[in-house]
Chains A and B, each alone.
Chain A
Amino acid sequence: MEEGRSTASAIEADSVSLSQRRSNFIYQFTQQSLPACKPVLSPVWVVSVFFVVGVIFIPVGIGCLHASRSVVEIAYRYDVECIPAPFRGNKLAYIANDFIPKNCTKHLKVPRSMKAPIYVYYQLDNYYQNHRRYVKSRSDRQLLHGLEYPDIGLCTPEDVINGLPVVPCGLVAWSMFNDTFSFFRGVHELNVNRKNIAWKSDRDHKFGKHVFPFNFQNGSLIGGARLDPNIPLSDQEDLIVWMRTSALPSFRKLYGRIEEDLDADDTISVKLLNNYNTYSFSGSKKIVLSTSSWLGGHNNFLGIAYLSIGSSFIFVAFLFLMLHIQNPRSYVDTSNISWNWKHISD
């Protein structure tokens, strides 16, 4: 092609148009001569990149770890503790029996001072909210439009009860969590803000303002909470939070926010109603109080990951630097390429 070009230039009378043509993008694209750069891994580059990245990662890791450690978290598993002694051997009977009172009071100790807002979560373990049949069993259209939307076949078996459609239909809504919690510091009850716990976009766009629960939990099998038929779905924040299915079998969902500070060594009493049945599949329930940081909850993983990767990068950078100082090679020297080693020993 080079000879082609040189003869072309000899023939071409107007050289201005030729050079214009050659800098034309289309010409370069079709001739495969677009300008490009090809980074080459030379020792200088490798060592410096590893070093720079390591140096960046370590403070980031320390920052993440600090943020995570600044979060104070209290988690307490109550599902076994809250079963009265006579029923410890037969948990299912206990939970299914509506006449046994499910009240339970537990005491939590605050380890460090916690600043408002303090988030209250309930954590469920071994609960596969990400099971395919379960995730499928809902109708988002119906949540938005209510009874006007008739096509709720996916919600089986919780779509029609006694010939009438169920709003909200599906297993996800049917299995809504119904334990309740209230918190006391001494005698004074802590105010738990149950508003604004769901995602704003869900409240505004996914749950209808004029959709009311209808024919809900009317069947023979009660799966979870009952809903007030007078409150529209967009205001039923517990439902909205529950309907956001989790990704993993162990998850937390936001219950509410405590807007008071808690001091270290305070004792918080939790009065809870242990209604929800996790005993039939050996799941567990926990109550969690947690502050938050810019990074979220108490999760050391990210900080530790950044730190370890950052330090290993710096270690590798030094290792390569030592190797390079010990066995330096210029670009032209081919004697150290692995397939040339044999020739050296000849």
Chain B
Amino acid sequence: MVKEGIEDFQRKKQDIEINNRKVKVHQAARELGFEFFKRTQTSVLINELNLVTRQLVERSYKLLNILEFNSARKRMSVIVRDEEGKLLLLCKGADSVMFERLSNNGRQYEEKTREHCNEYADAGLRTLILACATAVEDKLQQGVPECIDKLARAGIKLWVLTGDKMETAINIGYACSLLRQGMKQIIITLESPEIKALEKNGEKSELAMASKDSVLRQITEGKAQVAKITSEAFALIIDGKSLAYALEDDVKKLFLELAVGCASVICCRSSPKQKALVTRLVKDGTTKTTLAIGDGANDVGMLQEADIGIGISGVEGMQAVMSSDIAIAQFRFLEHLLLVHGHWCYRRISTMICYFFYKNITFGITIFLYEAYTSFSGQPAYNDWFLSFYNVLFTSMPVIALGVFDQDVSARFCLKFPMLYQEGVQNLLFSWHRVTGWMLNGLGSAVIIFFFCAKALSPEAFNEEGKTADFQIFGATIKFVFEATSFSTPKTSESKLTPARKIIQNALDFRHAAAKVKGFCSKGSTKAVLYLHDFRSSFFAYSLVFFITLCGSFSGMKMTICNSTKQWKSYVDE
């Protein structure tokens, strides 16, 4: 009991001493203009003297954590966040312990402080060293994890190339679901003790060789691991120093193979040059298209190197934006950019090109067929104005409208089924099969149009007045008919495309959508999915050609068209 009492007393004495010391520190601080006046449960309020304006400013610091004094550590730490979001780690402890903890570039006051401490110690004062480390919390933008998840589901492989430390990078990886709980991590680093020892005392060449061997060994081990366990996903994490060796010509192929076999790759502590080199490695080593997205000046090399560079305009300035192909404001807009606009754009461009070929082939073949009837003298079937204006005026609008407005599925669906993006990746809409199909369609249309019109219009009279069809009427009729046909054909031909929808069967969401499909009336895109392989849709397209041709040739013979044509012709002909 006495022992307890003595311990108790000693503790109380320590407390008083500590309290006394605390009080004294507070008093000193107040003299200098920093007054601690309030503490709530989570924050601390301090009146600070702004040295510029000489005004007292109230600032609050949010207390995040307190690491109490502990005799093993010999120090006490507190972590606070100031009003700007900056994190501060403040440490106080014995001088021996604190001096050890100083970094190399924080030592400018070390000598002075030691002197002062020694003076104080000589004066019988107890000394304490107070040091601070700062951290900046770089929050992930809103919507980034969801965006990354969607892109991963779209079949896009994501790599992170960052300048941060490995721990930070791994943390971010978990935060944005690039790394998941079940994933095995393959870490390639040069932090092993042998390398560290060589760093301290060995020569440069020996260090280089050993590092390279180590990296090569780790890569080979990683590859073996990936090859052995096929059921699990792997994540590759490599730091900047190892990356320098991994990107050398003899090693980079192996490195690429390992990286491509992993589900996610994180390169930390990478310099801008290394980011560019990794991008080039992937671009040249695989046949894939690379897209780089970044927001800082250190991403410029990477953005330029990749096939598509996307800059995020924001806090870090405009260098990334200026060197990019596309600039967006937030990272999460990338999912919309790729899955909606990318998807639509691919489809629009490929359809537009096919349509353009179709209409020009139809046009050319009607003229070619006509040549057989002009003893191959080179007389075109149409008036010169028709020939010139054909592409510019008469058939430009449908093609443009198709290229601007066509949406196979709405934006909502594009985002809901990210796998639809694979249609573009696998180049399903511009296969030879499809292009030739459109061209043959053009050939067929031209033959039908030409022969129907020729047979229908000649040599007998075509109207009640007994007039016979001359060259101009013939040309005008064919023109009218085949413009009408070319307007209608793309939409009907479209239905017989895309074996792309095969992809959907793999997406789990499709089953949900299928159940919900009944609720959908006007946006029948999922319904369209189910009938795309029917032969009836291609037959429908051809029947429409016949239909239009017949209607066209029929009305082409009627007086209204002919009269208006002949009147127009009389003014146009020179």
Q: Which residue of chain A lies nearest to B523 when distances are taken between CB atoms in the complex?
A: A38
Interface residue stretch chosen among A19-27, A96-104, A218-226, A286-294:
A286-294
B463-A247 in contact (CB<8A): no
Known: A128-B375, A133-B377, A206-B570. A339 touches B499 (CB 8 A): yes
Complex Cα spacing A289 to B525, Å: 59
Contacts of B469 in A (CB 8 A): 246-247
Q: Among residues 390 to 421 in chain B, which have CB atoms less than 8 Å away from a CB atom of chain A?
A: 405, 407, 411-412, 415
- A184 touches B (CB below 8 Å): no
Contacts of B373 in A (CB 8 A): 130, 247-249
B517 → A minimal CB distance (Å): 6
Complex Cα spacing A252 to B528, Å: 51
- B250 touches A (CB below 8 Å): no
Q: Among residues 291 to 346 in chain A, which have CB atoms less than 8 Å away from a CB atom of chain B?
A: 292-299, 301-302, 305-306, 309, 313, 316, 320, 329, 331-334, 337-340
Complex Cα spacing A250 to B373, Å: 9
- Chain A contributes a number of interface residues (CB within 8 A of B) equal to 76
B534 → A minimal CB distance (Å): 7
Known: A332-B514, A332-B517. A119 touches B461 (CB 8 A): yes
A297-B524 in contact (CB<8A): no
B483 → A minimal CB distance (Å): 18
Q: Which residue of chain A lies nearest to B534 when distances are taken between CB atoms in the complex?
A: A41
Complex Cα spacing A64 to B15, Å: 115
Complex Cα spacing A245 to B379, Å: 12
B524-A117 in contact (CB<8A): no
Contacts of A313 in B (CB 8 A): 543
Scoring A residues 45 to 66 as 1 if CB is less than 8 Å from chain B, else 0, what string do you get?
A: 0100110010001001000100
- A179 touches B (CB below 8 Å): no
Indicate which residue in B460, B463, B464, B524 contacts A38 across the interface (CB closer than 8 Å): B524
Contacts of B522 in A (CB 8 A): 37-38
Known: A201-B566, A252-B459. A40 touches B527 (CB 8 A): yes
B423 → A minimal CB distance (Å): 14
A296-B464 in contact (CB<8A): yes
B445 → A minimal CB distance (Å): 15
Contacts of B463 in A (CB 8 A): 292, 295-296
A201-B458 in contact (CB<8A): no
B44 → A minimal CB distance (Å): 33
Scoring A residues 169 to 212 as 1 if CB is less than 8 Å from chain B, else 0, what string do you get?
A: 00000000000000000000000000000010110011000000
Q: Among residues 62 to 104 in chain A, which have CB atoms less than 8 Å away from a CB atom of chain B?
A: 64, 73
Contacts of B489 in A (CB 8 A): none
Q: Give the A-B pair count, Cβ closer than 8 A.
A: 198
Contacts of B517 in A (CB 8 A): 331-332
Scoring B residues 489 to 502 as 1 if CB is less than 8 Å from chain A, else 0, what string do you get?
A: 00100010001001
B459-A123 in contact (CB<8A): yes
Q: Among residues 134 to 153 in chain B, which have CB atoms less than 8 Å away from a CB atom of chain A?
A: 143
B458-A251 in contact (CB<8A): yes
A244-B470 in contact (CB<8A): yes
B466-A248 in contact (CB<8A): no
A328 → B minimal CB distance (Å): 13
A41-B536 in contact (CB<8A): yes
Known: A119-B466, A254-B467, A294-B464. A299 touches B411 (CB 8 A): no
Complex Cα spacing A130 to B523, Å: 51
- A285 touches B (CB below 8 Å): no
Contacts of A290 in B (CB 8 A): 460-461, 466
Indicate which residue in A117, A133, A302 contacts B456 across the interface (CB closer than 8 Å): A302
A51 → B minimal CB distance (Å): 12
Q: Among residues 479 to 512 in chain B, which have CB atoms less than 8 Å away from a CB atom of chain A?
A: 491, 495, 499, 502, 505
Scoring B residues 521 to 559 as 1 if CB is less than 8 Å from chain A, else 0, what string do you get?
A: 011110110110110110110010011001001100100
Q: Which residue of chain B lies nearest to A121 when distances are taken between CB atoms in the complex?
A: B468
Complex Cα spacing A254 to B377, Å: 26
Contacts of A37 in B (CB 8 A): 522
- A135 touches B (CB below 8 Å): yes
Known: A130-B471, A199-B467, A254-B466. A248 touches B459 (CB 8 A): yes
B499 → A minimal CB distance (Å): 7
Contacts of A296 in B (CB 8 A): 460-464, 466, 557
Complex Cα spacing A253 to B340, Å: 60
- A1 touches B (CB below 8 Å): yes
Among A57, A205, A247, max chain B CB count under 10 A is at A247
Contacts of B474 in A (CB 8 A): 247-248
B495-A41 in contact (CB<8A): yes
A303 → B minimal CB distance (Å): 10
Indicate which residue in A50, A128, A298 contacts B543 across the interface (CB closer than 8 Å): A50
Complex Cα spacing A38 to B528, Å: 9
B550-A57 in contact (CB<8A): yes
A331-B527 in contact (CB<8A): yes
B172 → A minimal CB distance (Å): 22
B528-A135 in contact (CB<8A): no
A42-B471 in contact (CB<8A): no
Indicate which residue in B457, B458, B462, B537 contacts A250 across the interface (CB closer than 8 Å): B458
Contacts of A141 in B (CB 8 A): 574
A131-B461 in contact (CB<8A): no
- B301 touches A (CB below 8 Å): no
Since A53-B547, A301-B455, A339-B505 are in contact, a sample of 11 more A-B pairs with Cβ atoms closer than 8 Å, ordered by chain A residue number, is: A3-B143, A32-B344, A40-B527, A42-B531, A50-B540, A132-B374, A205-B570, A250-B459, A252-B459, A290-B461, A302-B553
Residue pairs across A and B with Cβ atoms less than 8 A apart, 27 shown, are: A1-B411, A2-B411, A32-B411, A39-B491, A50-B543, A121-B468, A201-B570, A202-B570, A245-B471, A246-B458, A247-B457, A247-B470, A247-B471, A247-B475, A249-B375, A251-B458, A254-B467, A296-B463, A297-B461, A297-B466, A302-B456, A329-B530, A332-B517, A332-B518, A334-B514, A338-B533, A339-B499
Shortest beta-carbon contacts, A-B, top 5: A297-B460, A247-B474, A40-B524, A132-B379, A119-B466
- B residues near A (Cβ < 8 Å) are 143, 332, 336, 340, 344, 373-375, 377-379, 381, 405, 407, 411-412, 415, 452, 454-471, 473-475, 491, 495, 499, 502, 505, 514-515, 517-518, 522-525, 527-528, 530-531, 533-534, 536-537, 539-540, 543, 546-547, 550, 553-554, 557, 566-567, 569-571, 573-574
